[in-house]
Structure 1
Amino acid sequence: MIVVHHLNNSRSQRILWLLEELGLPYEIKKYQRDPDTMLAPAALRAIHPLGKSPVITDGDITVAESGAIIEYLLETYQDSSTVRLQPPAGSAERRRYTYMLHFAEGSAMSPLLMKLVFDRIETSPMPFFVKPVAKAISQKVKTSFVLPNLKAHLDFLEAELHKSTWFAGEAFSAADIQISFVLEASASRGGLDGRYPKLSDFLQRIHARPAYRRALERGGEYAYAK
C-alpha cells in the first residue's frame, strides 16, 4: 500500500491529487507544522533523513521530492490505470512536460521561498536599532532580485498557456499537478493577480477537478486552495 507522509499546507497536497487522478488506493499519515517555526516535525526524519514532505513509502521503498515521486508513481502504476498523465515519449509535448516538471521546483520555487524568508525578516521581533537596517536590506533584495524574478516566471507561465490549454499541450498531465503549488503560492504571496488571466483561469480549472476536491477532503488543511 502506498503511504503518503503528508504535511499540512505543503507540496505533498499535489501527491494526494495525483493519486486521486490515477484512482490508486493509498493511505495518509498526517503531520503538523510547528506553529512557531512553521517547520515540519522531527518525526518526519524517521521516514527520510531530511525530515521534509512530501515523502511516500510503498512497501520497503521510500521516495522523496515531488518530481521524483510523480515519476515513480507514473512509471510504477500508470499502466494499471485508465488515466494517462504523461505525453507520449519522444513527442514535443513530452519534452515540454519534462521541462515543466523540473522547472516547478528547479527555478520557479526559489524566488517564492526567498520572498517568504525576507517578508518574515521584516516582521520578526528584533532590537529597535537593528530593525531599520534589516528592513532596508530585505526590501533591497526583494526589489532588485526577488520580485523581478517572480514577475519573469509568471510572465513566462502566462505565455505558455497562450500556446495550449495545459502546460504540456492540449491534454491535462502531471506537469499541471506539479506546477500547481507554484501558482497557488504565487496567488497567495507572489503577485499572481488579475494581470495574469490565463494563470487565474488555470487555478479555477484545477480547483474544480473532482480529483482535486477529493484530495482536499482527504488531506485536510490547505490554505492555498482559494
Structure 2
Amino acid sequence: MITLHHLNQSRSFRILWLLEEIKQPYQLQRYYRDLTTHLAPESLKNIHPLGKSPVIEWQGKVIAESGAIVELLIQSLAPHLAPDSNDAAYADYLQWIHFAESSAMVPFLMKTFNAIEVKHGTQLAFLEDYAQVEFDKVFGFLNDYLKDKTFLVDNRLTGADFMMGFGLHGLIYHMGQGENYPHIKSYVEHLSSLPSWKAAEKIEQDTVLA
C-alpha cells in the first residue's frame, strides 16, 4: 500500500491526482500549512529530513521529489501514461516532465517571491527585470507550443501533464495570467475538467477544511 504524505497547496497535488487517475489504493496522511508563515509543519521532517511534500512510503522506501515519484508510479503501475522508451514521443515526454521543475518553476517562483517582497516594501533592482524576462520567455514558448493541443505529448494524457498541470493551474488561477496565455488557459481548463483532477481537487479541499 502506498502512503502519500500530502501537504495542502503543494506539489503533492500532482501525486494525489495521479493516484486518483490510476485508481491505485493508497493511504493519505494529511499535513497543513501554518496559517501565518504558510510553511509546512515540522512534523513532515519526521518522514523526510527536508520536511517537504510530496513524500510517499512505498515498498519499504521513503521517496521524495514529485518528478521521481511520478516516473516511478507510472513505470510500475500505469505504463499506459508514458510513451514506450523506443517511441519517438518519449524524448518529448522526458523533456516536459523535467521542464516542469526546471525551466517553468524557476521564473514562476521568482515572480511569486518578488511580489511578496514588493508588497512588504522591498525595492527590487535586478531581480524583477530578470524574472519578468524569464517569465515571458518560458511561458510564451509554452503558450505557443500548446496552440491546438489538448495534452503535451502524443495527443493523450501522460506523466508530463501530471507534472506541468499543477504549476500552470497556479499560473492561470492564482497569478491571473489567462488573458496573456490563452492556449495555456485552454490546456488547464481541459485538465481540470478530468474526473481524476476533480476527485483530487475535492480531496484537497477537504484537506484544507479538515
Q: Fold conserved (TM > 0.5)?
A: yes
After TM superposition, the structure 1 stretch with the greater mean CA deviation from structure 2, 150-159 or 64-73, is 150-159
Q: Contact (CA 8 Å) 1:8, 1:219: kept in 2 or not?
A: yes
* Cα separation, partners in 2 of 1:31 and 1:117, compared to 1, 3 Å: same
CA distance in 1 between partners of 2:172 and 2:107 (Å) = 14
Give the drift of 1:43.
0.6
CA distance in 1 between partners of 2:52 and 2:5 (Å) = 9
- The superposition leaves residues 118-173 of structure 1 with CA deviations (integer Å, 9 ceiling, x where unpaired) of 2111223xxxxxx4xx32x25x521x211111111111111222364311121111
Q: Please, which of 95, 98, 115 is the counterpart of residue 119 of structure 1?
A: 115
The letter of the residue matching 1:71 is E
Measured on the aligned residues, the alpha-carbon RMSD in Å equals 1.9
Q: Give the TM-score taking structure 2 as reference length.
A: 0.91
Where does the alignment leave 5 or more consecutive residues of structure 1 unmatched?
Answer: 125-130
Q: Confirm whether residue 157 of structure 1 aligns to residue 153 of structure 2.
A: no
Q: Give the TM-score taking structure 1 as reference length.
A: 0.85
| Structure number with bigger Rg | 1
Give the drift of 1:90.
2.1
Where does the alignment leave 5 or more consecutive residues of structure 2 unmatched?
Answer: none
Aligned to 1:141: 127
Q: Contact (CA 8 Å) 1:112, 1:185: kept in 2 or not?
A: no
* Cα separation, partners in 2 of 1:63 and 1:208, compared to 1, 3 Å: same
The letter of the residue matching 2:52 is K
* Cα separation, partners in 2 of 1:118 and 1:222, compared to 1, 3 Å: farther
* Cα separation, partners in 2 of 1:208 and 1:222, compared to 1, 3 Å: farther
- The superposition leaves residues 98-129 of structure 1 with CA deviations (integer Å, 9 ceiling, x where unpaired) of 000001001211111112222111223xxxxx
Q: Contact (CA 8 Å) 1:4, 1:56: kept in 2 or not?
A: yes
CA distance in 2 between partners of 1:221 and 1:23 (Å) = 19
Aligned to 1:197: 182
Q: Contact (CA 8 Å) 1:104, 1:182: kept in 2 or not?
A: yes
CA distance in 2 between partners of 1:3 and 1:36 (Å) = 28
- The superposition leaves residues 173-209 of structure 1 with CA deviations (integer Å, 9 ceiling, x where unpaired) of 1101100122112124546222322211111111110
* Cα separation, partners in 2 of 1:222 and 1:193, compared to 1, 3 Å: farther
Alignment of 1:58-207 (within 5 A): 58-78=58-78, 84-124=80-120, 131=121, 134-135=122-123, 137=124, 140-142=126-128, 144-162=129-147, 164-190=149-175, 192-207=177-192
